[in-house]
Amino acid sequence: MLNKILQIFRIREIRNRLFVIAGVLVVFRFLAAIPVPGVDPAKLQELFSGNQLLGFLNIFSGGALSNLSIAMLGLGPYITSTIIMQLLTMIFPNLKAMYYEEGAQGRAKFNRFSRFLTVPLAALQGFGFLKLLQSQQVIQVSGLLDTFINVLTITAGSLILVWLGEIITEQKLGNGVSILIFGGIVSGLPGILRNAFVQYSPDKIPTYAAFIILTFLVIAGIVMVNEGERKIPVSYAKRIRGNRVYGGSSSYLPLRVNQAGVIPIIFAISILLFPQFLGQIISAFNQPIGEAVSNWVIGVFNNQLIYGIIYFILVFAFTYFYIAVTFDPAEISKNLQRSGGFVPGIRPGEPTSHFLKSVISRITLFGASFLGLIAVLPTVVQFLTKTPALTIGGTAVLIVVSVALETIKQIDSQLTAREYDTIQ
């Protein structure tokens, strides 16, 4: 391991790429520390301590939301726009062809449309958050002009983060959006350790020991599930062209257990936040009804049992929904048949499609249950330990582990490519 780290810093190109990523992360943390004007820190802390949904969104913003910084929305609008664009591929065949059939050029055009959609989404989410914070007297806005300037600033902050994420992606050492979220989560680790140390007492040693053991078990479980896959064997028929024989080889089709990643969790959070945003929109026309809706939603979701059950069900359901959108057994079966491939024991065409559909359905059952448990893990840990400082953010750990594994794989591939170049 030490030799590999030294090898990374010996290669100038990889070393420079790592320095660029580190510099971008520093800029990201700088933006996350610049607050919008008119914030009441005491009421802001009180609001976040009593709202689990805002605490989750604060993870994705890298702590920028809890500071009410100019980057308070983080990459949430861009992630939402990407999800919406993928859903639209089910409705519009041209979008589906652009994403799946036109190669790198089509993906680039698809991503450009996602960035365009990010602008109105960031403006709407920024306005909704500002109205929510105004209703809780967290932020003081004197007039319409101040609101417009704040919304414009927040929207610009989200777009700057999208640009920073693209700079990281260009370094080919991982996905820029994931690395920015990773940096935001890791930046909050010192504060978590500090809170745990402040609340430390000798009689809580067994609780702390159990928490540490549980943390390692959760990390090990996430690694196993995240790397787990079902390998479907695929054989290719022999083809004779002239005097040469092609094909006749065997391969496999990997189906990942956690194929959806954290997308279903983001789906679920968007649905859970919608009633609060709806209450703020209603308040603009009828303030008493809007406040009643908002207070009812906050009261329901502050009940940990109800919140946990609803959250688990939504994550479970959206996992199946996302797999249905992104995984097309019929298309995969057609591609295998065109290339002369087949699953041993299964006839090509529609039987192969049914087989793949049944396999992915069984795998998704385990993956959906896993994601649901990861989502409600903080609530379960707080209930068992009775210590707010000891909270295993399952989603945060899932993101950190996934990004770390992916970055390590990217660096390994870069090192391997350079070893081949040296041999040649």
To which residue do tokens 């989410």 refer? Answer: 125
Residues 308 and 332 in one domain: yes
Express each pLDDT in 67-121 by its tens digit. 778 888 888 788 888 878 877 877 788 887 777 777 778 888 888 888 899 999 8
**Residue 188 DSSP symbol:** T
Residues 167 and 263 in one domain: no
Express each pLDDT in 373-382 by its tens digit. 887 877 776 6
Considering only 248-262, 288-302, 312-326, 358-372, which range has the smallest mean pLDDT?
288-302
Residues 226 and 152 in one domain: no
Q: For residue 196, is it within any domain? A: no
Residues 120 and 215 in one domain: no
CB 97 within 8 A of CB 88: no
Residues 76 and 220 in one domain: no
Q: For residue 404, is it within any domain? A: no
Q: For residue 159, is it within any domain? A: yes
Q: How far is CA 403 from CA 60, 182, 247, 285, 299, in A?
A: 13, 7, 36, 44, 35
Q: How far is CA 119 from CA 64, 94, 266, 275, 314, in A?
A: 19, 23, 19, 22, 27
Q: For residue 400, is it within any domain? A: no
Q: For residue 248, is it within any domain? A: yes
Residues 147 and 249 in one domain: no
Residues 346 and 210 in one domain: yes
Residues 155 and 239 in one domain: no
Residues 166 and 222 in one domain: no
**424 pLDDT higher than 50:** no
Residues 343 and 209 in one domain: yes
Report the Cα–Cα distance between both ends of the chain, in Å, rounded: 25
pLDDT band (50, 70, 90) for residue 57: low
In the chain, the amino acid numbered 70 is I
Beta bridge partners of 239: 246
What is the model's pLDDT at position 423?
44
Structural domain range at position 103? 1-187
Residue 332's domain is classified under what CATH number?
Answer: 1.10.3370.10
How many domains, the chain?
A: 2
Residues 272 and 138 in one domain: no
To which residue do tokens 């607050």 refer? Answer: 35
Q: For residue 420, is it within any domain? A: no
Exposure string over 240-279, b if 16+ CB within 10 A, otherwise e: eeeeeeeeeeeeebebbbbbbbbbbbbbbbbebbeebbeb
Residues 115 and 246 in one domain: no
